[in-house]
Each structure stands twice: as structure tokens, then as C-alpha cells.
Chains A and B, each alone.
Chain A
Amino acid sequence: MNVVITPAMLGQVVVSGILAGALYAMVALGLALIFGVMRVINIAHGPLLMLGAYTTFFLYQALGLNPYHSVPITMLVLFALGALLQRTLVFRVVDAPELSSLLLTFGISIALVNLAQLAFTSNLRAIEYATGSYTLGPLAFSKSRLIAFAVAAALTGLAFLFLQRTRLGKAIRATSQSREVAMVCGVDVRRIHLITFGVAAALAGAGGALVSVIVAIQPEMGQIWTFKSFLVIVLGGAGNYPGALLGGVLLGLVEQIASLFLTTQLSEAVAYILLVVILLVRPTGLLGGRQT
């Protein structure tokens, strides 16, 4: 039972951790956006990712579309769905106490999972694409996870550029800093909310497209991503967008390294213990939360 851990093994799990971390960061960025702008904790974030995975799957199955080529289409579909959810449901709880938004998005989450079960059945599906790995010395880089890493890193980068450079991005940040001041400056806050929820859903959808080639697709695949994203944004500082990036990579690394030195079973516990410790030392997360 004694495993001797060599530097090569450690290197391997660091690689795996960073690859996973970029994906966590991208998906969590969506959650951070919604929280930052609207103060809504979107429990349905994971189920949106699940719908992204199904969109990719059906495009692959029906049209034979390469799962990576369909990422933009999946993102558009999820953007539309996200905006629709905002328009019809979520806007009602933006100003309500946080418990209302939790209840609402929890309800949306349950509804999405059960609708998916009805519409797609609970049959397990998967896309077989880009299996195997590239090797570099003793290290193996899983093809599907490497591509997921690259796409996630690129999309996260684009999202940041969008937030930093474009008028719309600035308006989103302004709304997240102070809705009243943004409104006074002529920002159409309702439209910003719509776009924010859409972008966040699109990021979850991209995550779904990328994991659809990594894990099996089924209606309940999303929930775990809600928890992971939540962990990531609290680690990094809720409402702080670069914090989501840091939190994502940190979670990926912690999970993998804890799995190596302890067990896979304990790695989750380690991640949550880390969360408690960070909250004790820095209650606003590593990079600090949004100022209220």
C-alpha cells in the first residue's frame, strides 16, 4: 500500500491540476459576474453547464459537428437561454433579499434538471473525441483536458478584455460597483443585467461543451459544478473577477495534490478546509471581495 511519490508524479498532478483549474476558473467567472452585478447567487449555474453539454452533444450527434467547433454555437444558445431566464424570472429577485434569489435559482436548477430528464431521458451519453494524450518526458497532457484548458484560458482572457476595454464591459463593472451611480451616468441597468446573465450562462455553456468530451453527459452532471464554482469565487473573493481566476487554479491544484498525498476521497475535504481557513484569515477571500 506504500506509494513512493516521485517528482515526476508530483509534476503530473500539478499539470492535471492546472488543466482542471482553468476550466473551473472559466465556469466560476460566470457565477462571479452574476453575483458581482446583481448580488444573486445562481444555484442554476451547474445545470446551465449541463444544458451546454447537451447542446454540444446534439450538435455532434445530429450534424456531426466537431465538439470544439460548436463551442460558439453552444455559447450563443446558452446566452439566449440565460437572457430569457433573466428577463422572465431572475429580474424579479435582483432587489429582493438574498434568500429570495437563492430560492428562485434553486427552483430553476431543479426545474432544469427535471426538464432535461424528461426531454433527454436519463440515458447516459458521451462524445468520443480527442482521446489519449500528448507526452512530454514523464508528463502526460490529456488531449481533451489540454484543449479544454486552452479554450477556457482564451475565453476567460476574452471575457476580461471585454470587461476592461469595451463600453459594455465598463458598464457591467460600473453596475457591479454601484448600481445607482451607473444609472445616474445613463447606464441601462436592466439591459446590463440581461447581458450579464447571458454572458454568465454562455460561459457555463462553454464549460459544458468542453467537459462533454471529458465526462459522461447526464441531467445531473451539473450540480457538482455549482458547488465547485461557488468554492472558487469564495476562495478568490466573491464579486472579484481576477479572484475567480486565482481561485479556479488554486482549487484545481489543491484537489490534485491532496489526492496524490492523501486520497481522492479526502481531496474534497481538503478543499473545503482550505476555504474555512482562508475565510478565517481573509474573510473577503484571497483578492478581497466587492466593496459594499
Chain B
Amino acid sequence: MRLTARIALIVGVIVAASTLPAVGQQGPIRIGASLSLTGSYAKLGGNQHEGYKLCERDLNAKGGLLGRKVEFVVYDDQSAPPTAVRLYEKLITEDRVDGVMGPYSSPVTEAAANVTEKYKKVMVSPLAATTSIFRKGRKYLFMVISPAEGYLEGLVDIAAKRGLKTVAVVNEDTLFSKAAAAGAVELAKKRGLQVVYQEAYPKGNTDFSALLTKVKSLNPDVIAAATYFDDAVALTRQMKELNVNPRMYGVTVGGDLPEFYETLKQNAEYIYGATQWEPSLPYPGQKEFLDAYKKEFGHEPSYHSAAGYAGCVVYAEGVKRAGSLDSDKVRETLLKLETRTMFGDYKVDGDGFQLAHKMALFQWQDGKKHTVWPDELASAKTRFPTPSWTQR
């Protein structure tokens, strides 16, 4: 090949390559996200990532989106909100992705949403449960899971139906737990239960003797605890040590992990836990999702995986119905969309705040989580009341 021809060819390739994304309906739709792949949320963010990956695979198996393949571009935000901010900025301005999906957790979403709003990018954020994030007038942010305030609704509902009178609410003093506790107090009052005690404790607290001594002296029927894993374990162990015997005891987060039972063994029996999703819930497409997930990743999905998958499905549905990737058009359809996925119901209000998705309440029974609330999803009856520690 002669020199000029070679140069012409190279120039041609460069020109073609640089104009390709603009012209090419053939190129894949690239969806960007930052996820907590390392750092303190690594495990949960990793599960969410697997949800995205499975969704990508399933969408492509069905011919992609708008006739184009779908491709996720995922970076690691190390569980740090400032890193996520930088990464979404990069995804949108440098990588020029066609759409974005949410990161893991409320604090990271809170930070990243400022970037996606600035560039008017629709962001379905499947793992953010804090109400305030969605009440700041943001126009392009969409919620998938139930808000923190609703976590203990099942516990309060069962308590009220069983005629219990008093409840003590304790919580870790962090964004999510505070909201869950406030929600529980609100719901309890609404249902005529008396909130006899409420106390917050700092993150990382490991000694609950004084708090439980006070709770014990009031002998409440229900202890509602807005927890994560460590504190839920410590609280339960010390309830046994100090012989604190409520007739119902429920936790928010952490109680749903298999490690919770492995750690506490038979002491976890009778404990209620709130959950966004369980593999056993009878939602459409559940079995297919579970089978595909286990085959792909070799382990069971957690609710983070399921929410990630469902969030991606909701976004894809929005794009499909809008017939376009245009943010404002997708936003319009997502605001109007009502659907049911394997994760449960989706319907949002004008703020993108989730209204339809239902929390469930399970109870540890013989080493298994059995859904006991709401009634239409229940797989077992509640074992009520919780016997005292000495009678087990």
C-alpha cells in the first residue's frame, strides 16, 4: 500500500470512529453506574452489581433496548459519596453514557443525585430508602424500594391486631435508622399503641446494658429496634443476658441476613425482621429470576441483588415505553408507570417517591425466615407471643 493511501485509510478510520456514536444506532446503549465494590458496603454493592449484570444479560437476550444492545459501564466508588460524585461526573461528561442507574445506599445516592440532576439525567436508584433524598425537589430521581419509615409497619400492625398496648423504640443514630424509628413511632401512635420509651444510641455501640435496664423496667409489650447487623446481634444477646422479655421483638436491617441466625442460633428464634424482598415471595417472574441468578453467580440473591435487577427492569421499561433515551421523555413515562416485577410493585408520586412497593415482615422459625406479614404474602402464621428467655 502506498503512503498516501495508508494515511488516507488511517484518517478515514479515525473520522469514522469519532463520528460513529453520533450516527450509529448500531452501537450499544451504555448505562453508567458507580457501585460500592470495595469498602464497607462492598458485599451489598456487589450484590447490586450482580443484579445489574443479570438484567443486562436478560435485556440483551430479548433483543436489547430500542433495537440496540445494552451495556453497563460500572466503576467502583469504594463506598464513598465523594468518589461517587466524581464518577457520575465522569460517566456523564467524559464517557457520555446514554443513561445512568443508581449507586448503593442512601448516603451515596444523596451525593450522586446532585450530579445527575445537574445534567438532567434520569436516575432510577434502587437501593436508596431515605425519604428526604426524594423530597428535595429533584426531578429526575426515582425510588424503587420502600422508604425507611415503613420498615416496622408489619410489626406494629401485628401488635395492634393482637391487642398489645405498649412499645419501646430504640435506634442507631444514623440517617436510615432514625427515619425507621420515627416511622415506627408514628405508626404505633396511629394504631393506638403507647410509645413508652424511645432512645437512640451511637453507631458502633456495643454495650446496651443501661438502655436495656431502662427498657426492662418499663416492661413494654413490643421492642421495635431500628438496627443494622452488629447492633441487632449485640442487642439480642444482651436482652437474653438481662432477661428482657417483650412479647414481640423486631429489627429492621441485619435480621434478614443468614449470618444473623448463624450467629445467634436458637436465640434468633421468634425475632421479627423487616424485609424489602424475599426469594419466597410470590411475585411474577420470581422463579425465573432465582434460577437464572443462581446459575449465573453460584449463590442466592439478596434483596440488594433483586432491587438492582428490578430497578434496571423499571428503567428499561421506561425507555421502551418512551421509545427514546431522552431524559424528559423517560421521566414522563416513569412518573406514570405502574408495574409489578419480581421485586414487587412499582408506582411513584410526582417526586419519584415510591408508593406501591410493600415491605414484608418475617419471623425466624426453626432456623428459617417465614413471611408473616402482609397477610396476602404470608407463608406461615406468627408464633405469638415470644416466650421469655427462661422458658425456651
Contact = CB atoms under 8 A, between A and B. Distances in A.
Interface in A213-264: 214-216, 218, 220-221, 224, 255-257, 259-260, 263-264
B259 A125 contact: yes
B207 A256 contact: yes
B210 A259 contact: yes
Interface residues of B, number: 44
Contacts, number: 121
B341 interface: no
Interface string B259-272: 10011110100000
B24 interface: no
A214 B241 CA distance: 11
A119 interface: no
A128 interface: yes
Interface in B15-59: 38-40, 42-43
A275 interface: no
A131 B233 contact: no
Given A12-B209, A13-B213, A260-B213, 10 more contacts: A117-B38, A126-B233, A128-B267, A131-B240, A131-B267, A132-B240, A133-B242, A216-B263, A256-B207, A260-B214
B75 interface: no
A239 B126 CA distance: 51
Contacts of A259: 209-211
B283 interface: no
30 contacts: A1-B196, A1-B198, A3-B218, A5-B214, A9-B213, A9-B217, A13-B209, A16-B207, A16-B209, A117-B38, A124-B229, A124-B263, A125-B259, A126-B262, A128-B265, A135-B243, A140-B241, A142-B209, A142-B238, A145-B241, A216-B263, A256-B209, A259-B211, A263-B200, A264-B199, A264-B210, A264-B211, A265-B201, A265-B202, A268-B202
Given A1-B196, A1-B198, A259-B210, A218 B230 contact: yes
Interface in B236-263: 237-238, 240-243, 257, 259, 262-263
B197 A3 contact: yes
B173 interface: yes
B298 interface: no
Contacts of B201: 263-265
